[in-house]
């Protein structure tokens, strides 16, 4: 379905009119990992998903972004200046063009508290931080759903990164995405940990947008995806609210593997897994058989994230000494 209006027209109609900037503004947004995944759009320009999704924000791991008015656009990420020819540069400023008046340039300084080398996506936290920083720069006071709708226009999953804790993104049905935004479900559990096994930190060969599109266009298994989410999303939501870790973990692992099954059945196949990815999944299953509560989830890449209770971290580190442990409830 395509919308009658453009994202730029939608933003212009929904933002406060005032655009007189302060000297500078700074904001932080966490990364997030989906427990019930977003995979596939029903509309490209507004980044509207085919299904809902549910994630956990990564607490102190995310992006801090400082934006100041300037004579020309510039972008520094983790202390290194990016060229205007860089894709990340073009993507960020194309997004900022939606929020600023024509002719207004910005100096953007972005720092990821998640190590780039961990192979965790930083685009969700970056676009969410950009929305929050521009909001402060112009002195707007936006509500959560408005922040979330704006962040979605940068990167779909960014709409979940405007909040801490467990977050649900409602798919919505409106053509301009008015009802497609995220909302908090519950605070992070203090006992929950996410272990990250970095198989590769290299940029992925197939980006998530391209991977989604190819899957939706060519994978027959993708037809089953909305049904999978219809089953998993309420189960995960309930498990979050009831602190039922095993239901949460088992449903999240099955959901992630089902998402990868739809991609592997695309043509050309979207196969993000490396041999180490599969080896880690087998180790997770062996650990579980041995009584350790650990469940795997994977995004559009080869890295494996291990959901587990804090009490099991020491045992997991024996099997995975290089595992990086994230506490989603840790404040910045």
Residues that bind ligand PMV (CB under 6 A): 34, 37-39, 53, 121, 123-124, 155-157, 208-209, 299-300
Q: Is 176 helix (H, G, I), strand (E, B) or coil?
A: coil
Q: What is the DSSP string of 118-169?
A: GT---HHHHHHHHHHHHHHHTT----HHHHHHHHHHH-GGGGGTTSSSEEEE
Q: Do residues 158 and 208 lie in contact, with contact meaning Cβ atoms separated by under 8 Å?
A: no
Q: Which is nearer to ligand PMV, 33 or 65 (CB)?
A: 33
The CA radius of gyration of the chain, in Å to the nearest whole number, is 19
Nearer to ligand PMV, 21 or 156 (CB): 156
For strands 48-49 and 41-43, give the pairing. Answer: antiparallel
CA distance 193 to 188: 10
In angstroms, what is the minimal distance from the CB of 32 to ligand PMV? 7
What does 245-274 look like in DSSP terms, one character per residue?
A: HHHHHHHHHHHHHHHHHHHHTSSS------
CA-wise closest residue to 298 among 332, 264, 247: 264
HEC sequence for 168-183: EECCCCCCCCCCCCEE
For ligand PMV, which is the closer residue by CB, 157 or 303? 157
C-alpha distance from residue 167 to each of 62, 87, 232 (Å): 15, 28, 15
User: Of 5, 234, 32, 299, nearest to 151 (Cα)?
Assistant: 32
Minimum Å distance from CB 299 to ligand PMV? 4
Shortest spacing between CB 46 and ligand PMV, in angstroms = 13
Q: Cβ–Cβ contacts within 10 Å for residue 292, how many? A: 17
Q: Judge whether 263 and 211 are in contact, CB under 8 Å.
A: yes
User: Any idea how long the chain is?
Assistant: 332
Name the token pair of 58.
């990564």
Residue 233 CA from chain centroid, whole number: 16
Cα 223 to chain center, whole Å?
23
Residue closer to ligand PMV, measured from CB, 34 or 77: 34
Taking the complex as a whole, the smallest distance from the CB of residue 114 to ligand PMV amounts, in Å, to 14
Q: Is residue 184 within 8 Å of 55, Cβ to Cβ?
A: no
């Amino acid at each position: 379905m395509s919308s009658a209006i453009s994202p730029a027209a939608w933003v212009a109609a929904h933002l406060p009119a005032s655009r007189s900037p302060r000297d500078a503004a700074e904001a932080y947004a966490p990364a997030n990992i989906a427990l019930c995944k977003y995979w596939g759009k029903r509309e490209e320009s507004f980044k509207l998903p085919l299904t809902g999704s549910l994630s956990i924000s990564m607490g102190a791991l995310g992006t801090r972004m400082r934006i100041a008015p300037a004579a020309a656009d510039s972008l520094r990420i983790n202390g290194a200046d990016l060229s205007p020819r860089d894709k990340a540069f073009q993507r960020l400023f194309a997004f900022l063009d939606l929020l600023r008046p024509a002719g207004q340039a910005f100096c953007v300084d972005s720092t990821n508290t998640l190590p780039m080398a961990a192979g965790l996506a930083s685009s969700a936290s970056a676009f969410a931080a950009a929305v929050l920083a521009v909001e402060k720069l112009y002195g707007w006071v936006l509500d959560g759903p408005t922040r979330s709708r704006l962040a979605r226009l940068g990167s779909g999953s960014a709409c979940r990164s405007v909040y801490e804790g467990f977050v649900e993104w409602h798919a919505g049905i409106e053509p301009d995405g008015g009802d497609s935004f995220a909302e908090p479900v519950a605070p992070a559990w203090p006992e929950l940990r996410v272990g990250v096994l970095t198989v590769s930190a290299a940029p992925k060969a197939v980006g998530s947008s391209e991977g989604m599109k190819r899957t939706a266009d060519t994978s027959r298994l993708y037809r089953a995806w909305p049904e999978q989410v219809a089953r998993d999303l309420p189960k995960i939501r309930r498990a979050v609210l009831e602190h039922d870790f095993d239901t949460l973990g088992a449903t999240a692992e099955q959901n992630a593997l089902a998402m990868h099954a739809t991609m592997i059945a695309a043509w050309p196949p979207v196969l993000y897994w490396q041999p180490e990815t599969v080896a880690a999944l087998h180790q997770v299953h062996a650990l579980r058989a041995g009584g350790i509560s650990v469940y795997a989830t994977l995004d559009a890449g080869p890295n494996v994230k291990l959901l587990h209770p804090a009490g099991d971290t020491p045992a997991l580190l024996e099997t995975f000494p290089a595992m990086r442990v994230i506490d989603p409830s840790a404040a910045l």
